[in-house]
Each structure stands twice: as C-alpha cells, then as structure tokens.
Amino acid sequence: AQSVTQLGSHVSVSEGALVLLRCNYSSSVPPYLFWYVQYPNQGLQLLLKYTTGATLVKGINGFEAEFKKSETSFHLTKPSAHMSDAAEYFCAVSASGTYKYIFGTGTRLKVLA
Amino acid sequence: NAGVMQNPRHLVRRRGQEARLRCSPMKGHSHVYWYRQLPEEGLKFMVYLQKENIIDESGMPKERFSAEFPKEGPSILRIQQVVRGDSAAYFCASSPLPGQGGINEKLFFGSGTQLSVL
C-alpha cells in the first residue's frame, strides 16, 4: 500500500527566499512521484514527476525535487520565491504501472512581499 | 485549447437529494478519472472510464455512487440520496493515453466541484 505525507499544511516565505515543501512517501514497490500545483480557481497542474533515472527532477517555473530513496522523501524546492508561486501544492505517489495516484493533503504556500 | 471542464463549480444539496457532477475532458482525450478529496485528506481515486466503459471502479463507494462516460457528452458522476459525509471536492482528470501508469502518463485535472450537503 502507498501513502503520502506532506508536512505543513501552510507554509509562508518571503519573496526571494528559498521555498521548501516537504513530502514523504511510503510504497512497497518502486514509486512514481509527482508534484502538482493548484492556482486559485484552476485545475491541478503537473509541476514535475519522477519515474526512473536521475533523482533530481526539474520542473516548470524553476521548481525542482529530489528523490531520496533512503529517506523516502521527494521534497520540492525553488531557490527564490515569487509572488506568483502562491498556490496549493500536492505531492502524489503511484505504484509503477497504475494510474491510481495517492495524494497528500496539500500545502498552501503564501509568499510575503 | 480548453482544459478539463467541470461544472458546477459549487453544488449545494440537502440530505436525500441527488447530485450530478459533470466533467468534459480535454479535446482528444477519451480517458477520464474521478477523484474525491474529503476534508483534511488527500485526493483519492474513485473510478476510471473510457467512452461507454467503466474500466476500474475499485475506489467507488459500493452504494449510491455511479459514473458514466457516454459516447457523446460529458462524463457524469452521480450521487443518489446524498448524506453529509459526501461533502467533498470532486476532481476529474483526463488523459490522451490509456491509464497504464506508464512513464509518459500525464493526467490533466479540472478545477473540481465542491459539493456541500446540508
């Protein structure tokens, strides 16, 4: 069985500061890992995903995430926050070969001017 | 190019009424997935449909819930005799490829329907 834990339902950072959103997963099989973002009144949009290969994954809008098997983590980072990054971020896991994504509860990012 | 369209955005029902949630997939997509997000929980898979076929309904509650994706028109998630516990955000996603979880798989999500049961 798979599960996802996102630490911190709300995170606030100053504009220009580092963004770090935490995600830990549990999976009995090699996982596929995803980060989705939801801007106000919009659908979830794929930021990045890890399937196989390189453990550091780069996504859109300057975000990246690193798959660390030993820590069962897939934290999302961005070196410098922008006001437009304010949104809700969801981490998800999928056992390879299935479309049944398991999502975390989400982290709402607030960017302070 | 319109994305996945869900309507209504908000739906209020009294206990015992029926709720119908609609989802129009992206153009060219024939695979639709429904997810539900209960308060304080993550999104959970409910059902996967292709045109006129239910492929996987393992996440659907056994009673009162049904889904369809007809040859013409949107996919419909129907909840009969709603109860307060059905209050949640219901998300629809679509994909151009069969839902096999392959490395090229990509789901496109709608903005969801917030169902409130009074």
CB atoms within 10 A of CB A13: 19
Beta bridge partners of A110: A12
Question: According to the model, what pLDDT value does residue A64 have?
Answer: 97
CA B53, chain centre distance (Å): 14
Least Cα separation, residue A62 to chain B (angstroms): 20
Q: Which regions in chain B score pLDDT beneath 50?
A: none
Q: Which of A46, A100, A104 sits opposite B42 (nearest CB)?
A: A104
Query: According to the model, what pLDDT value does residue B104 have?
Result: 57
Q: Which residues of A lie inside 8 Å of B (Cβ-Cβ)?
A: 4, 32, 36, 38, 41-46, 51-52, 90, 92, 94-106
Cβ atoms of B92 and B108 within 8 Å: the answer is no
What pLDDT is attached to residue A51? 85
Q: Which of A110, A101, A89, A85 has its CA nearest to residue A25?
A: A101
Copy the structure tokens of residue B38. Answer: 């209960």
Give the pLDDT confidence score for residue A42 in this predicted structure: 82
Q: Would you call B15 exposed, middle or buried from its count of C-beta atoms within 10 A (0-12, 13-18, 19+)?
A: exposed
pLDDT of residue B102: 56
- Is B33 in contact with A105 (Cβ distance < 8 A)? no
> What DSSP designation does A30 have?
P
The pLDDT score that the predictor gives to residue A5 is 94
A43 vs B108: CB contact, 8 Å cut-off? yes
pLDDT value for B42: 86
| pLDDT value of position A83 | 96
Longest dimension (CA), chain A: 43
pLDDT beneath 50: ranges in chain A: none
| Closest chain A residue by Cα to residue B46 | A100
Chain A hits for B24, CB-CB cut-off 8 Å, are none
Select the residue from B41, B97, B111 to test the A interface by mutation, using most A Cβ atoms within 10 A.
Answer: B111
The burial of B27, by beta-carbon neighbours within 10 Å (0-12 exposed, 13-18 middle, 19 or more buried), is given as: exposed
Nearest CA in chain B to A42: B111
